Amino acid sequence: MQVRILDPRLHEWGLPRYQSEGAAAVDLMACIEAPLSIMPQAPALLVKSGIALSFGDMGLAALVLPRSGQGHKRGLVMGNGTGLIDPDYTGEIMVSVWNRNPPGSDPVVIEPGERIAQMIFVPILRPEFEVVGNFDTQTARGAGGFGSTGS
């Protein structure tokens, strides 16, 4: 996978990398010019990551997720839940950030170079759809959903 460094400060701050031997994702940094205050419950904002990727493999995608500590301790989560980076997208990766804290709470302040999200790479399965009137295989659950297996 190829990475383009769009913000030269990443050479100083550190390129996206796995933070431990068992880390599943690389951290993404806030490539902003000045501290950014995100008010509680305000609309989500897009923050530049300073990188672009060329996957070289259409069987992979990337998911941008909140960092556990940022979400739990500070209330900084993804404005779109999870970001999906398709393998044919080669532009700058942007991070949608949102302050989930209740109104009246302090803003979440993001500093330039701060690790604000994480990105994991996943395989893509693209089955072909076959339109049918009835399914070949039946299950005990069938169409039961939303609590049909108990509380």
Using an 8 Å Cβ cutoff, are 81 and 134 in contact?
no
Q: What is the pLDDT of residue 151?
A: 66
- C-alpha 85/C-alpha 18 separation (Å) is 18
Model confidence, pTM: 0.89
Give me the DSSP letters along 41-52: TPPPEEEEEEEE
Q: CB-side exposure of 11: number of CA atoms within 13 Å? A: 5
Specify the length of the chain in residues: 151
Using an 8 Å Cβ cutoff, are 36 and 45 in contact?
yes
Q: What is the pLDDT of residue 150?
A: 73
Burial classification of residue 49, based on how many CB atoms lie within 10 Å of its CB (0-12 exposed, 13-18 middle, 19 or more buried):
buried
Q: What is the pLDDT of residue 140?
A: 84
Using an 8 Å Cβ cutoff, are 83 and 25 in contact?
no
What the chain holds in terms of domains, given with CATH numbers, is: 2-123 (2.70.40.10)
Confidence band of 144 (pLDDT split at 50, 70, 90): confident
Q: Express each pLDDT in 16-64 by its tens digit.
A: 999 999 999 999 999 999 999 999 999 999 999 999 999 999 999 999 9
Q: What is the pLDDT of residue 9?
A: 98
